[in-house]
Structure 1
Amino acid sequence: MTAAHPHTQPTTRVRTSIDVRPVSEADLPDWVRAVNTGFLRSSPTSDAEIADRSSYIVPSRTLGAFDGARCVATFRSFAQELTAVGGRTVPANAVTNVSVTATHRRRGLLTRMMAQDLAAAKDRGDVVATLIAAEYPIYGRYGFGPATWATEWSVDVTRAGLDPRRPAPDEGGRVDLVDGDEIRKTGPELHERLRRVQPGTVDRSERWWQVNTGVLRLDRSPWTEPFYAVYRAADGTVEGLAVYVCDETWSDAKQPLNTASVKNLIAVTPAAERALWRYLCSIDWVTKVKSGPRAPDDVLPLLLPDPRAATVTTHADWLWVRILDVVQALEARTYEGTGTLVLEVVDPAGPAGGRWRLEAAADGASCTPTTGRADLTLDVRELASLWLGDESAVRLSALGRVQEERAGAARSADALLRTSRRPWCPDMF
């Protein structure tokens, strides 16, 4: 609901201008209320939530649209690091808390906030912007493209074919149950190791570990203490962890029908990944395992003697990327082969437009502006989908989203850009 305004005439509607600005300390309670309204959270905004928000937001990167005194749209960004193909990280502008109150849609408020934020990100030197899109159609018009996808499986343990009485292949490691204190000690270093090998991952702050191990409990996120399992290699090094919760469901015939829902599973070796999935699928009383969002080419289904026991329940876009600096983005990643590609990048609303010559080799890549003939013409959002190696230029060409200026250029692009394993972002933000 919009704020009330006085009227000089009963039949005259007074339309005020809407001010888009960084939030002040005094604005924050109404900004938090607007976020909760936009995300359909009906509970009242608490002092604890406002205090928690104020502890980590950056006011200059927290925008609100104000109709009079009332906040009617919200937007926030924060500093992030994103892993490119090959393991290098690039500075990213992570976008979150985007909402527009239903009474103020179609007034260009998101466009104004996005333009202001992306301009600031470019000035800071951020190479890309990132977000997790609640709705698919919104962000393409701002140059974002889906760069990773996520798949969730539900495993029927009773038909998976894993025999808990038969020992797993001896790889010298072991799975141990630990507590949250142990996860806070070993988890951050493990995740840093993952970030060095997994394209699409983002950094995790100390606050992330506190929230996800229950040290910091939020009013808006009810807490259930999970189970924590770690995989240790033969030398004791932690190479994987799984965090999961279980329900308490029994049949009328007094048979256990419990579900283990995975909240987080990361591993830096294949042995750790295999051992943790085997463990989860062999817990007494658990007849179903929900995987949580995984890379679409996760090993889980094929790890099972009967892969059909793993049913896909969700498959959707996950991390969206917006290229801000074409040169740094293309030079930061590695490539599957050696070659040259000239890209005509169309970016009407941003800084990435131009013609760019990519020269890729095993020892690195260079990207420079060029006036030479383009091999491919594509929008910046398609470049984002190709950058992490997940999408196919051949498929985008078939859809009319990439135009070949040279016959066979899309196939050449795939030979350079695509990766042997798909990128994956384990986190929501």
Structure 2
Amino acid sequence: MSRPEPHIDVRPLTDADIPDWSRALNTGFLRTPDVSEAEIADRRSFIEPARTLGAFDAGRCVATFRSFAQELTVVGGATVPADAVSNVTVSPTHRRRGLLSRMMAADLDAAKDRGDVVATLIAAEYPIYGRYGFGPATFTAQWTIDVPRTGLDPRWAGPGDGGRIDLVDGADVRKIGPELHERVRRAQPGAVDRNERWWQVRTGALRLDKEPWTEPFFAVYRSAGGEVQGLVAYTADERWGDGKQPLNTASVRWLDAATPDAERALWRYLCSIDWITTVKSGWRAADDLLPLCLPDPRAARVTTLADWLWVRILDVVRALEARTYDGQGSLVLEVVDEGGPAGGRYRLEAGPDGSSCAPTTADAELTLEVADLARLWLGDESAVRLAALGLVQEQRAGAARVADALLRTSRRPWCPDIF
């Protein structure tokens, strides 16, 4: 006979819980479990205890969960309030006891009550979050550029469009970066907002004990009129081959570009730095312009292609009405969300001039799980493809093609950030 489980209490944190919760977080992520006073002080500065959950077994924290307010850009440039989920761990001694399910249910219920339209997360492991109604809504890619193969003229001396590129420091970035990112993310479905702490951490104004700081280079692109339209942060190694041949790599930490001119100029700049023979792009959109910016696109090879932002729709009506539609049409969706808030039958009427979505008793034309609606919502996935896999069911012939004509977008959604 197995020993009865001790009572495990899942609850929001108190201030006194933060050190123990932080140790459990480090344990779950396989980091050194010790927690410094500086780390505890930093965590106290940004977590919301009411939105930070812990599971406590005999007074010891054995699972962690945190959420925070976020804005997510949808197709067309509007934003919706999102419940961003992060810091999810269960200690290896307490797996398979339903702790994540309890924490997730409490958080999603609170998010729905607050009026959040969706919940979001970056999934460390693929199989976990589908059972909670999350689906992969954006993908990301990393490229490695073989600079000598690009076909670019190594004598390049700057943008030929009247713009210019200048090196700046972290203080400059904290002044110009937030406004630029606001412009960029408002035009990029799948992008999220960045708070002041994001800029402080990534420019070295706030340095974290467990993350060694290396000062990056910052380069800004200004248009001919002097407007900041692009910004890149990158590091470079120092590697030499036989015969004192430079074989250095520039690694992009992040790159924001508000225009194609800015994007092309910054990639061209990175490929023109003396001694740099390889450029690693960092996380980019799956359909990024990067390869086609090069005379030989094969010089940029994809080294990573992966799901990135996962979305859990909480309010179907608001989610579908928030975005825009290039096509014109009507579709009745049966959304399956067992025990969740999004289940039901909805009629979507959409076109370039606006849209409406409302519950309906009409016969369903397309039936799908809420996680698969998330795949379609930002325009990345094809309903026809999901139907071929049996993940959506056509109740009316051709309904999946109608869904694609309404929901798919000409450019893929992308989330530049991890959280």
Give the conservation status (yes or no) of the 8 Å contact 2:150–2:295: yes
| Alignment-mate amino acid for residue 36 of structure 1 | N
> What is the CA deviation profile of residues 79-98 of structure 1, one whole-angstrom value per residue up to 9, with x for unaligned ones?
00000000000000000000
For 1:349 and 1:158, how far apart are their aligned partners in 2? 56
The CA deviation at 1:137 is: 0.3
| Alignment-mate amino acid for residue 334 of structure 1 | T
Give the conservation status (yes or no) of the 8 Å contact 2:149–2:296: yes
What SS does the aligned partner of 2:40 have? helix
Q: 2:67 maps to which residue?
A: 77
The CA deviation at 1:163 is: 1.1
For 1:31 and 1:169, how far apart are their aligned partners in 2? 50
1:270 to 238, 260, 263: 260
The CA deviation at 1:244 is: 0.3
Give the conservation status (yes or no) of the 8 Å contact 1:145–1:385: yes
Q: 1:417 maps to which residue?
A: 407
Q: 1:113 maps to which residue?
A: 103
Give the conservation status (yes or no) of the 8 Å contact 2:27–2:33: no
1:357 to 338, 347, 361: 347
Q: 1:19 maps to which residue?
A: 9
1:211 to 193, 201, 207: 201
2:18 to 25, 28, 37: 28
1:170-185 pair list within 5 angstroms: 170-185=160-175
Does 1:387 find its partner at 2:377? Answer: yes
| Alignment-mate amino acid for residue 255 of structure 2 | L
1:337 to 327, 331, 335: 327
Give the conservation status (yes or no) of the 8 Å contact 2:163–2:221: yes
For 1:218 and 1:210, how far apart are their aligned partners in 2? 11
For 1:184 and 1:212, how far apart are their aligned partners in 2? 9
For 1:161 and 1:60, how far apart are their aligned partners in 2? 55
Unmatched 5+ residue regions in structure 1? 1-10
What SS does the aligned partner of 1:384 have? helix
2:57 to 67, 91, 100: 67
1:100 to 90, 111, 117: 90
Does 1:197 find its partner at 2:164? Answer: no
What SS does the aligned partner of 1:385 have? helix
2:124 to 122, 134, 152: 134
Q: 1:323 maps to which residue?
A: 313
The CA deviation at 1:43 is: 5.2
Sort the Cα spacing of 1:218 and 1:246 in 2 relative to 1 into closer, same or farther, 3 A.
same
For 2:272 and 2:33, how far apart are their aligned partners in 1? 39
1:190-269 pair list within 5 angstroms: 190-269=180-259
For 2:280 and 2:288, how far apart are their aligned partners in 1? 14
Sort the Cα spacing of 1:12 and 1:295 in 2 relative to 1 into closer, same or farther, 3 A.
closer
Sort the Cα spacing of 1:166 and 1:203 in 2 relative to 1 into closer, same or farther, 3 A.
closer
| Alignment-mate amino acid for residue 322 of structure 1 | R
Structure 1 window deviating more from structure 2 (164-173 vs 213-222): it is 164-173
TM-score in terms of structure 1 length: 0.96
| Alignment-mate amino acid for residue 88 of structure 1 | A
Q: 2:137 maps to which residue?
A: 147
Q: 2:276 maps to which residue?
A: 286
TM-score in terms of structure 2 length: 0.98
Give the conservation status (yes or no) of the 8 Å contact 2:23–2:33: no
Q: 2:27 maps to which residue?
A: 37
The CA deviation at 1:252 is: 3.0
The CA deviation at 1:166 is: 4.3
Does 1:298 find its partner at 2:283? Answer: no
The CA deviation at 1:375 is: 1.3
For 1:129 and 1:228, how far apart are their aligned partners in 2? 32
Unmatched 5+ residue regions in structure 2? none
The CA deviation at 1:172 is: 1.8
For 1:113 and 1:43, how far apart are their aligned partners in 2? 22
Q: 1:314 maps to which residue?
A: 304
> What is the CA deviation profile of residues 327-384 of structure 1, one whole-angstrom value per residue up to 9, with x for unaligned ones?
0000000012111111000000310000000010212110000011111000000000
Does 1:372 find its partner at 2:374? Answer: no
Give the conservation status (yes or no) of the 8 Å contact 1:142–1:349: no
The CA deviation at 1:14 is: 6.0
Runs of 4 or more consecutive aligned structure 1 residues displaced over 6 Å after TM superposition: none
| Alignment-mate amino acid for residue 284 of structure 2 | R
For 2:186 and 2:334, how far apart are their aligned partners in 1? 31
Structure 1 window deviating more from structure 2 (287-296 vs 302-311): it is 302-311
Q: 1:7 maps to which residue?
A: none
What SS does the aligned partner of 1:136 have? coil
